[in-house]
Amino acid sequence: MGLSFKEAVEKRRTYYGISNASPVSDAEIQEIIEEAVKNVPSAFNSQSTRIVLLLGENHKKFWNITKEILRKILPTDAFGATENKIDGAFGAGYGTVLFYEDQEVVEGLQKTFALYSENFPVWSQHTSAMHQYVIWTALEEVGFGASLQHYNPLVDTEVAKAWDINPRWKLIAQLPFGTPTVQPGEKEIAPIEKRVLVYR
């Protein structure tokens, strides 16, 4: 029996220790992504989010591209730690979800609804964030661990070239996932009464 929504929200954590094993089929992973994209809300029903799901060798290829880009810009003595993190945490997983926002959609809304023009790039980020959270939590619900990464914009050009990504799609975040091999530590939670105000 799967987790309840409340349990999935509570158990969703950042996992750096992941393996390339999967508790579910690739078809089920794809279904999780597609259901999120269909059902997560967006401002003005813009549906601006675009997802690229990388599995198998494509997942490894993404992290190798990222690693080689970083190798060129980091000092030699600092690169070792970065390489270990990419190989041992992100690249070691089963797959990676790339979150994009279609700028053609965003700019179209800016022209159509000029009064709200400045808001649409911000609302686009909100839309992406909701997709990130829903997909992350849904992957947790079926037994994956994941972490949200932001190697954009450093990797944008090479990644777009490697997978022929539409140049109007803007990369927002990356979510490597896999079966957890190390449990996250205790999470410190600030006093809830200082963060939630209720007036009756």
Rounded to whole angstroms, the Cα distance separating 35 from 13 reads: 21
| Token reading at 195 | 């963060």
Percent of the chain at pLDDT > 90 equals 94
Residue 185 pLDDT more than 90? no
**C-alpha dist (Å) from residue 120 to 37, 41, 171:** 19, 14, 16
Query: What 3-state class would DSSP assign to 78?
Result: helix
> What is the structure's pLDDT at 17?
96
Residue 1 pLDDT more than 60? no
Residue 183 pLDDT more than 70? yes
Residue 161 pLDDT more than 80? yes
Mean pLDDT within 55-61? 98
Residue type at position 23: P
State the pLDDT confidence band at 44, using cuts at 50, 70 and 90: very high
- Before 41, cis peptide (omega within 30)? no
Residue 3 pLDDT more than 80? no
> What is the structure's pLDDT at 5?
85
Q: What are residue 177's phi and psi, to 5 degrees?
A: -140, 155
Mean pLDDT within 55-73? 97
